Amino acid sequence: MSEPTFYATVEARRTVRSFLPEPVPQEVLDRALDAARLAPSSSNLQPWEFVILRDPKAREAANAICLDQLPAKTAPLLIALVAHRETWRRNRDELLRVFESRGALRPSQVTYYRKLIPTIYTTGPFGLLGPLKRGLSRILSLFRAAPSFGSRTDQRIVAHKSTALAAATFMLALRAEGYDSCPMEGFDPWRAKALLDLPRGAEVCMFLAVGKRDDKGVWWDRVLMPRDWAVREI
């Protein structure tokens, strides 16, 4: 029995440290980006942004921001993947617009997006409501299961988790197309924010080097931690 295509793609994906100069075709990039947009996200708010660095000066600056790592310097394409904490209103409104275009809103949609989401994401002036909401959530949790009603830190974590899901989907899509990637967490976050002119509540989750691996692009054989370190049942 042949190996399913998905599992073969997962097995073939590696973190590639050096790339061939061959450019990534636009149609390949577009398909991978559209696949990434299908990734799951908290409340479907899709808080991510892919910033493709085309301008030579911006690319040179980004290479330096990525500490001149070999993947950044050799990849024909460099992408900054941004997590946005403050786009929830815009994206919530777009979700409601699309829902309404498909017919009358269900009561559950009205309650969730018009009441619950603002309760979770509104933190007030200087974020002062955040600690109060977090404290209230903890008190409620002593008596029954309760979600965290959200400080800015909670929202930042959620945005980064959702953005990382989009990144993983994107990297697998690239591998399915015969291209490779290297996610880089080692970079100067302050210079990255300035280079990309990011608004308040936005920060780079990771940089992604993209291209075709060269013969020495994979440095080591894959090593996995023992399965019982990663999986348990209770």
Over residues 106-160, the pLDDT tens digits come to: 999 999 999 999 988 988 888 888 888 888 888 989 999 987 777 889 999 999 9
pLDDT at 3: 57
Domain boundaries, the chain: 13-217
The answer to whether residue 1 scores a pLDDT higher than 70 is no
| CATH fold of the domain at 13-217 | NADH Oxidase (3.40.109)
Q: How confident is the model at residue 48 (pLDDT cuts 50, 70, 90)?
A: very high
**Least confident window among 18-27, 125-134, 174-183:** 125-134
pLDDT at 59: 98
Query: Torsion over CA of 188, 222, 39 and 192, rounded to 10 degrees?
Result: 10
What tens digit of pLDDT does each residue of 53-109 get? 999 999 999 999 999 999 999 999 999 999 999 999 999 999 999 999 999 999 999
pLDDT at 2: 55
pTM: 0.93
Closest CA to 159 of 56, 66, 50, 41: 41
